[in-house]
Amino acid sequence: MQTLVSDDIRARAAKVRLMIFDVDGILTDGSLHYGPDGEVIKSFNVLDGHGIKMLQHAGIRTAIISARSSPIVARRAADLGISHVQQGVGNKKAAFDALLGDTGLVAEQCGFIGDDIIDLPILTKVVFAASVPNAHPEVASHVHYVSRLPGGKGAAREVCDLLLRSQGKYDALIAEHMAG
């Protein structure tokens, strides 16, 4: 189901060459489950993962910037082929600036999806800022797009599809999948 998206949001999404994802509350539902030995267990959505792979296939780079550090995030990023992964980041703006330096891109070529106030330094700089319905209220007032679906339940895929549609790449990717 495609939701109504303004021309401004589509124009912003069309400029994205690097999409950056927060983890907790975006790629997961934000819940932290602790195993018997104190390890953190997170659940990821396969549709979100395929959306990220579709972005990469369409030539849109992907990255993760997360305040928390977890081996499971490194594993998920490796499974998805996300090469730019910054975890345990206290200053997300500094991490974003470093990512720009590493990629040679500028903020006007980047998108970011986050859900908490720690994400605001990036959300206020990128050309396309997105969030989820259950984000902190302060975040909603600083983003261009709020997904219909919640974090960890398809929000990342919804944003990936929006980027691909806005860049005119979605139909070709679907046709490739249909052709087998």
pLDDT tens digits, one per residue of 159-169: 999 999 999 99
pLDDT of residue 177: 87
pLDDT of residue 106: 98
Domain borders along the chain are: 7-179
Tens-digit pLDDT profile for the chain (180 aa)? Answer: 445 789 999 999 999 999 999 999 999 998 888 888 887 888 999 999 999 999 999 999 999 999 999 999 999 999 999 989 999 999 999 999 999 999 999 999 999 999 999 999 999 999 999 999 999 999 999 999 999 999 999 999 999 999 999 999 999 999 998 997
Task: Let me know: does 26 contact 113? Beta carbons within 8 Å.
Answer: yes
pTM here is: 0.95
pLDDT of residue 53: 98
Q: What is the CATH number of domain 7-179?
A: 3.40.50.1000
Task: Let me know: does 55 contact 160? Beta carbons within 8 Å.
Answer: yes
pLDDT of residue 175: 93
pLDDT of residue 3: 56
pLDDT of residue 1: 41
